[in-house]
Chain A
Amino acid sequence: MSFINPIFLFAASAALLPILYHLIRKIRARKVKFSSLLFLKATPKALIRKRRLRDLLLLVVRALILGFLAVSFARPFIPRESIPLISQVQDKSVVILLDNSYSMQYRNFFERAKEEAVNIIDNAGNADEFAVVVFSEEPQQVSRLSDDIALHKNIVVNAVTVSNRITDLYKPLRLAEEILKDAKHNEQQIVLISDFQSNGWSSQFENWNIDQSITFVPIKIAEEEVTNSYINKFDLKNKRLGDAVAVQFGLQVGTQGTIIEQVKEVSLWINGKEVDRKMVEEEQSHQVFFQQMDLREGTYQGYVTLNEDNLTVDNFNYFSFMIEQRPSILCIDGSTEFSQSNAFFLENCFYMEEQSIYDFSVGRKDFLTPGLLNNYDVVFLTNVSSLTNQEVTLLKEFVEKGGGLIISFGEQVNLEQFSRNLIDLGIGSLGERIAVRTLELSNAIIGEVDLKHPIFSVFAKSGTGDIFRPKFREYVKIIPDTNSAVIGKYDTDDAFMIERILGEGKILVFTSTFNTEWGDFPVNEIYLPFVYQVAKYVLASSEMENSFVVGGTVPLHSEPGDEWEVNAPGENIFKVTIDETGTGYFRETEVPGNYRAGHGNEQKYFSVNVEARESDLTSKDEAEVYTAVTRSINKSDNEMKLTNLSNILEEEKNQKLWRYIMLFIIMLFLFETFFANRKVEAKSK
C-alpha cells in the first residue's frame, strides 16, 4: 500500500504513542497504598480477568480507530503492480508513428518496424486505445484512435506499405499530439518507430518540443553497419548535329553509410535495352558519363542503374527525352534583293550544310499560308512592308500554337500600316524612324539589356561587354503594348528588342535590321550567337518538363474537358481530365519510373525519381531523438515524476480507499461506545 500524504502517519504516531501508553496503563492494575482495607473486599479474580480482557479489547479498538484515522488522512491507495491478477500497465492512449519513407526499404527495416508496431498492439491493456499513423514526407493517419486492437493490427500487417518518399519527422509528431487531444486516458504515449535518419530532422524542432504530459517512446530500426550506393546527380545534355542529336548522360554515384563500399558498375538502358555499361572509378569522384551519338527524331525513355545493394530504389535514375525533327526556320524578307538582305545574313548564320542545327529556308510573303507555316518552327519576318489582316491572323495562330516569330525592319517597311499590324499582334505601335546620327552625332548602341534573359545570358558570361559593341545608325521607335515587354534598349533609351508571349509561342521584335542597312550588327562578332540565341529562345517554350520527384504533380495541357490516359510503372493506368483552365494534374507519382501520358495523337513522356537525399542513411540514436523531441534529458526525469504523480493521484481517486476506512472507523467507534458503556447499563438495570 502507498500513501499520498505519508506525513500524517508520522504525525499520528507521535500523537498515538502517549495515548496508547495511557490506555495500556489503564489495563494494568495501579498499585496504591490506602489507609485501611477495613471497608473493602477483594474483587473476584474471574471478574478482574473479564475486565482486563474487556479493557484490552477496548484498547485495541481505540488504537485501531486512531490508527485508521491517520491512515485515512494519509490517503492510501494500492499501486496497480501490487494487485495480483490485474494488469500492471495503466490504461493508456497511444499513437504509433510508423516510418514508411524509402530509406525503410533498406533490407527488412520496414518489416521489423511493422513487427514492433504489432508487438506494441499485442501487449496492449484491455482498455488501451491506439491510432496508427504512417509517415514519410507527409503523415497519414490510417486508423482512428480506438480500442479496436484487431483492426489496428490488421491495418499494420496488411494495409501499410513502404513508400518511395523522403522523411519528415516533424509533421507526424505534431499530428500525433493533435490526435491525443481526443484521448480518453490520462496516460498518453507517442511511439515513434523509425530509422531516425538525420535528414528527417528539420530546424522546426528547435522551436518545438512535445507536450510534457505525453510519454515519448522512440524505437529505432537500424543496424550497426549500413552500406548504400545511389545515384546522387544525373543530367542529360544533347547536341544537334544536323538531323541527328548527340546525347550525353552524366551521373554521380553517391556512397553513404558506416562502411563505404565500392560501386562496381553502372548500366545505361534506353527504350528497354541496355546500351552501355561502365565501371565507376573512385579517382574520378564517382562520376560516370555515357554518350549516345546519332539519335534521331523520336521519344526516348530509359534509366541508369547501379549494381544491386541493400537499398535498390535509389540505384535507378529514370529519364525521358524527345528528339524532335530539326527545327525549321523560315525567313520572309521583304527586301528586293537577296544580296545584303536580312535573309542573306541570317542564312549565313544558320546554314551549316549537314551540321546545321536548323533547317533554314528563305521565302516571301506568299509563304504565309496555313499549310506552309505549319512546316516551320520559327519565322523571321524581316523588312516586310505590311501584313494583311489575314496574314496577321495566321501569324497569331502560328505563334499561339507554339511557333516563334521574330520581326525586324528595313527600308521596305510602311511604318503606318505596319504599326497597325503590330498593334494587332499586341506588340505596340510604331513611332518614327530614328536616324540616330542626325540627332546624336553618333550611332546608337545597345545600352541596356536584361542579362538574365535567356537571349542575353550567354553574353553575361563573357564579362567583356560584347553586347554593347554593335552600332546602329537607324531604328524604329516602338511604343510597347501592355502585353509586351522591353528586354533591351539602345543607349538612347528607346526599345532595342520587345517580347510578347502569345499562347505557347513568342514574338520578338528587333527594332533595327538583321543586315547592314541600318547598322553594322551583322559584321559584329556577337551577331551569330545573338541570332542563334534568339532562335533557340523562341523554340524553347514547346518543351515540356519531363523529370519529377516521387509525390510531384505533373501538369498536362490541352483543351478543357480533354481526357488523358497515363500509363504508369507496373502497368497501372490512370485518367486525368483537363479543367477549364486548360490544365490537368497527374498526381499518382508514387512509383519511380517512366510514365507515358496520351491524348489522341498527342503523347507526353516523363520520368519520376526518388529524392537522392533520403539515400543518406546516417541516423540519430535514440537518446538524441529523445532529447530532440522532449528538449531535455533531465526534464524527462521530471516529466516521469510528474506523470507518475498524476497517475498516483488518479489511482487514489479511483480507489477512494479512505472512504471505506472512514466507514470502518465509524463502525469501530460505534462498537467501542456500545462496549465501553455496556457494563454501566447492566449495572443500572
Chain B
Amino acid sequence: MNYTPIKGSPIRFIDPEILSRISNMELLARKIVEGFISGLHKSPYKGFSVEFLEYRPYIPGDDPMRIDWKLYARSDRFFIKEFEDETNTCCHILLDISNSMEYASMNITKFQYGSILAASLAYFMIRQRDRVGLYFFDNQIRERIPAKSTQGHLITILHSLENIRPGTRTSMGRPFHELADSIKKRGIIVIISDLLEEPETIIDGLKHFRFAGNDIIVFQILDPFELTFQFKDIVELEDMETSERIIIMSDEAKEAYLYNLEQFRSILKKECGLLRIDYNILETNKPLDYALFQYLSKRSVRK
C-alpha cells in the first residue's frame, strides 16, 4: 500500500505500515522529516522556496551549520544566514483521540497514523524554530501541551504522543470552541481527526478558529475500508464509540454509505473552501510526505 508519488517527482516515500512498527516516536519523526527534506532537496520542487532574508552576527549557541563560510572567508568573521522561514510561527496541533480513531482495516489505526503525522509535524516545526503546541481531544480537551520551540519541548510532545490512550466519543464542538478561546496569539491550527461527526458541529468549530485569525489545516484521516466499504454479505456493525449495532446487507448498504460519505465530504470541502481552510483527506495506507508538503506550503504562503 505505497503512496503514489507526484508524477515526475523522485520523492522517497515511506510506507506508513512500516513506520507503525517503529515505536520510538522521535526516531520515527526524524526519519520521516529527514527523508522528506532529503527528497525535497533533490527535486526541482516548484511552488516552494525558502528564501534568504539577511545576515546577522553569530551568537554562541547558534547552530554552526548555519554559518555562512563564504562570508567568513571574505570577512574573517562569523555570520548566520537568516531565511524567510525562520520567523517564529506558532503552531497548534489538535489530535483526535476519540474511539473511532482506533479503527483499522490493516495494521495501522487512524490514531497511530495521526500520531505519526503529529510527531512528524512537530519535529519539522521545531526544526524550523516554530513553536509547537499539542492538544488531544475527543468530546473535550484531554491534554494540553502549550506551544514552545525548544528541543526539550519536542521531546515532551513526542513522549505524550507515545503514551496517550484513546478517549471516548467524538464531539468536536466543545473542544474546538474551548481551544479557540484559549489561543491568544494567531498561528497555524493543524487538525488531525477522522471528523466523523455532524458537519455543522465541525464547521462551527472551524469558524471560531478562523475568526480568531488562525490559519487552519485540516487532515481528515480515514481508513481505506471507510472510503470503499468493502464488506460482504450480511454484517452486524457495531459503532466503536456508541456501541450501537445495526445489521446490514453489505451490497445493499454500500451504495448509500458511499453516497452519504461523499455528501459529507462535499459539505466539508465546500465550507472549508469558503473559510479558506485547507481540507485534506489522508488514507492510512498513504505515505506522510504529502502532509508535510502541505504544511510547508502553508507556511510559505503565510509569509
Complex: how many Å from CA A27 to CA B256?
22
Q: Which of the listed residues A37, A47, A48 has the most CB atoms from chain B within 10 Å of its own CB? A: A37
Number of contacts between A and B (CB, 8 Å)? 94
Chain B residues 241-256 with CB under 8 Å of chain A are 241-242, 244, 246-249, 251-253, 256
Q: For the complex, is B103 an interface residue (Cβ under 8 Å from A)?
A: yes
Chain B binder among A28-36, A195-203, A616-624:
A28-36
Q: Given A41-B246, A47-B252, check contact A36 B236 (CB 8 Å).
A: no
Q: Given A47-B252, A48-B234, check contact A35 B246 (CB 8 Å).
A: no
Q: For the complex, is B257 an interface residue (Cβ under 8 Å from A)?
A: yes
Residues A41 and B253 in contact, CB atoms below 8 Å apart: yes
Residues A29 and B236 in contact, CB atoms below 8 Å apart: yes
Chain A residues 30-61 with CB under 8 Å of chain B are 30-43, 45, 47-48, 51-52, 55
| Contact residues in A for B110 (Cβ distance below 8 Å) | 35
Q: Given A29-B234, A30-B233, A41-B256, check contact A36 B239 (CB 8 Å).
A: yes
Complex: how many Å from CA A44 to CA B235?
13
Q: For the complex, is B179 an interface residue (Cβ under 8 Å from A)?
A: no
Q: For the complex, is B85 an interface residue (Cβ under 8 Å from A)?
A: no
| Contact residues in A for B293 (Cβ distance below 8 Å) | none
Q: For the complex, is A185 an interface residue (Cβ under 8 Å from B)?
A: no
Whole-angstrom distance between the Cβ of A47 and the nearest chain B Cβ: 6
| Contact residues in B for A43 (Cβ distance below 8 Å) | 246-249, 252-253
Q: For the complex, is A453 an interface residue (Cβ under 8 Å from B)?
A: no
Q: For the complex, is A659 an interface residue (Cβ under 8 Å from B)?
A: no
Q: For the complex, is B26 an interface residue (Cβ under 8 Å from A)?
A: no
Residues A29 and B256 in contact, CB atoms below 8 Å apart: no
Residues A36 and B235 in contact, CB atoms below 8 Å apart: no
Q: For the complex, is B84 an interface residue (Cβ under 8 Å from A)?
A: no
Q: For the complex, is B264 an interface residue (Cβ under 8 Å from A)?
A: yes
Closest to B252 in A: A43
Q: For the complex, is A26 an interface residue (Cβ under 8 Å from B)?
A: yes
The B interface, classified by DSSP as helix, strand, loop or mixed, is: mixed
Residues A42 and B196 in contact, CB atoms below 8 Å apart: no
Complex: how many Å from CA A30 to CA B237?
8
Q: For the complex, is B197 an interface residue (Cβ under 8 Å from A)?
A: yes
Q: For the complex, is B200 an interface residue (Cβ under 8 Å from A)?
A: no
Whole-angstrom distance between the Cβ of B222 and the nearest chain A Cβ: 8
| Contact residues in A for B197 (Cβ distance below 8 Å) | 38
Interface size on A, residues (CB 8 A): 25
Q: Given A29-B236, A36-B240, A41-B253, check contact A48 B246 (CB 8 Å).
A: no
Complex: how many Å from CA A505 to CA B235?
125
Q: For the complex, is B226 an interface residue (Cβ under 8 Å from A)?
A: yes
Residues A52 and B235 in contact, CB atoms below 8 Å apart: no
Residues A32 and B264 in contact, CB atoms below 8 Å apart: no
Residues A36 and B238 in contact, CB atoms below 8 Å apart: no
Complex: how many Å from CA A36 to CA B232?
18
| Contact residues in B for A679 (Cβ distance below 8 Å) | 251
Contact with A along B252-271 (1 / 0, CB 8 A): 11001100110010000000
Q: For the complex, is B130 an interface residue (Cβ under 8 Å from A)?
A: no
Complex: how many Å from CA A39 to CA B244?
13
Residues A34 and B249 in contact, CB atoms below 8 Å apart: no
Complex: how many Å from CA A42 to CA B261?
16
Residues B241 and A40 in contact, CB atoms below 8 Å apart: no
Q: Which of the listed residues B100, B196, B234 has the most CB atoms from chain A within 10 Å of its own CB? A: B234
Residues B100 and A42 in contact, CB atoms below 8 Å apart: no
Q: Which of the listed residues B232, B237, B241 has the most CB atoms from chain A within 10 Å of its own CB? A: B237
Complex: how many Å from CA A41 to CA B253?
8
| Contact residues in B for A26 (Cβ distance below 8 Å) | 232-233
Complex: how many Å from CA A38 to CA B170?
12
Residues A34 and B239 in contact, CB atoms below 8 Å apart: yes
Q: Given A43-B252, A43-B253, A47-B252, check contact A37 B246 (CB 8 Å).
A: yes
Complex: how many Å from CA A36 to CA B225?
12
Residues B238 and A34 in contact, CB atoms below 8 Å apart: yes
Residues B235 and A30 in contact, CB atoms below 8 Å apart: yes
Complex: how many Å from CA A27 to CA B264?
32
Q: Given A31-B236, A31-B238, A51-B234, check contact A36 B100 (CB 8 Å).
A: yes
Whole-angstrom distance between the Cβ of B259 and the nearest chain A Cβ: 8
Among B231, B240, B253, B256, point to the contact of A35 (Cβ < 8 A).
B240
Closest to A39 in B: B260
Q: For the complex, is B283 an interface residue (Cβ under 8 Å from A)?
A: no
Complex: how many Å from CA A80 to CA B298?
89
Residues A42 and B257 in contact, CB atoms below 8 Å apart: no
| Contact residues in A for B226 (Cβ distance below 8 Å) | 35
| Contact residues in B for A55 (Cβ distance below 8 Å) | 233-234
Residues B103 and A39 in contact, CB atoms below 8 Å apart: no
Residues A38 and B196 in contact, CB atoms below 8 Å apart: yes
Complex: how many Å from CA A36 to CA B193?
13
Residues B103 and A40 in contact, CB atoms below 8 Å apart: no
Closest to A37 in B: B239
| Contact residues in A for B215 (Cβ distance below 8 Å) | none
Whole-angstrom distance between the Cβ of B99 and the nearest chain A Cβ: 8
Closest to B102 in A: A35
| Contact residues in B for A35 (Cβ distance below 8 Å) | 100-101, 103, 110, 194, 196, 223, 226, 239-240
Residues A37 and B237 in contact, CB atoms below 8 Å apart: yes
| Contact residues in B for A51 (Cβ distance below 8 Å) | 234, 249
Contact with A along B64-104 (1 / 0, CB 8 A): 00000000000000000000000000000000000011010
Chain A residues 345-398 with CB under 8 Å of chain B are none
| Contact residues in A for B248 (Cβ distance below 8 Å) | 40-43
Residues B256 and A42 in contact, CB atoms below 8 Å apart: no
Complex: how many Å from CA A34 to CA B232?
14
Chain A residues 140-190 with CB under 8 Å of chain B are none
| A40-B248, A55-B233, A55-B234 given; 17 more Cβ-contact pairs under 8 Å | A26-B232, A29-B234, A29-B247, A30-B233, A31-B235, A32-B235, A35-B110, A36-B241, A37-B246, A38-B264, A39-B257, A39-B261, A40-B246, A41-B256, A42-B248, A43-B246, A43-B247
Would you give 15 A-B contacts (Cβ < 8 Å), ordered by A? A29-B235, A32-B231, A32-B238, A33-B238, A35-B194, A39-B257, A40-B257, A40-B260, A42-B246, A42-B248, A43-B252, A43-B253, A45-B247, A47-B252, A48-B234
Contacts from A to B (Cβ < 8 Å) = 26-43, 45, 47-48, 51-52, 55, 679
Contacts from B to A (Cβ < 8 Å) = 100-101, 103, 110, 170, 194, 196-198, 223, 226, 231-242, 244, 246-249, 251-253, 256-257, 260-261, 264
